[in-house]
Amino acid sequence: MGDTVAPPSCLICEQSADSATRLCENCNELIRQSRYDIHSRCVRCAVDLNSGLGDGALHCAQCIKQPPLFDHCVTATSFNPLIGKLINQLKHHGKLSATIPIVSSMVEAIKTHYAASTTRVDLVIPVPLHINRLRHRGFNQANEIAKLVCKALNLPLTFNLCERQFDNPPQQQSGLAARHKNLRGAFIVNSNMTNANLKGKTIAIIDDVVTTGATANAMTKTLLNAGASRCDIWCFSRTPRK
């Protein structure tokens, strides 16, 4: 008799996991419960409106007061500690198998969002890391997510069209104003690339988590200035606004 292959361990709780999702049944269900209800989020930035931040219509108060430069944020889940642990396994422990449940949720959310839309995405660009951070981590988690999302949706993907100029410090504890200030001029378009002509294109920017939207806004500004006509943000998780 051959050796029995042990099932993989759940990326979140380390119990026996489903080989297809790399999560156990319980954590799979908790991820499903973390998914956004399309009717409970701001149609522009995807922040949760259940906290009373909405105006009773479709937009949060922040987007009414100062709309972001991107057109829509499409998210798969609302951020919570469980989601954070899954992302941490990918981002800081190099467990690329975490992209399996992440991408599965994102693809479903993206298909749902554009099901009744005439929008056609011309190009997908992951949020770049600065070269110093890329060398330290060894990979860009947004690149790994984007590869699988584009494969599933049959969309063109480019990695080096947009570059990060500054190695900004982690901004998890920074407020919105500080984030915007730190990210001013952070991104540039690499004009040496043969496909750098962005005129009139609709671009999807992929990241793992959107917190305040400052990074997404800064990158969108750079791409619009380079000629793009529209940018949408695709992420696995959106952090609720405080």
Strand partners, 35: 77
Closest Cα partner for 164 from 197, 206, 126, 198?
A: 126
Domain boundaries, given as residue ranges, for the chain: 42-238
Looking at the predicted structure, is the pLDDT value of residue 168 above 80? no
Looking at the predicted structure, is the pLDDT value of residue 194 above 60? no
The residue whose two tokens read 């108060």 is 61
Looking at the predicted structure, is the pLDDT value of residue 114 above 50? yes
Q: Tell me: the pLDDT tens digits for 76-109?
A: 999 999 999 999 999 999 999 999 999 999 999 9
Strand partners, 157: 124
Looking at the predicted structure, is the pLDDT value of residue 128 above 80? yes
Are 108 and 144 in contact by the 8 Å Cβ rule? The answer is no
Neighbours of 109 (CB within 10 A): 21
Long-range contacts (CB closer than 8 Å, 24 or more residues apart) made by 172-176:
172/211, 175/212, 176/212, 176/214
Q: Tell me: the pLDDT tens digits for 5-63?
A: 667 899 999 999 998 899 999 999 999 888 866 668 898 999 988 755 444 568 888 89
Sign of the alpha-carbon dihedral angle for 193, 199, 205, 210: positive
Tell me which DSSP letter residue 239 carries.
P
Fold type of domain 42-238: Rossmann fold (3.40.50)
Confidence band, pLDDT 50/70/90 cuts, at residue 179: low
Task: Kindly state the tokens that stand for 201.
Answer: 């294109």
How far apart, in whole angstroms, are the C-alpha atoms of residue 234 and residue 237? Answer: 9
Tell me which DSSP letter residue 11 carries.
T
Q: Tell me: the pLDDT tens digits for 197-232?
A: 789 999 999 999 999 899 999 999 999 999 999 999
What backbone torsions phi and psi does residue 136 show, to the nearest 5 degrees?
Answer: -70, -45
pTM: 0.89
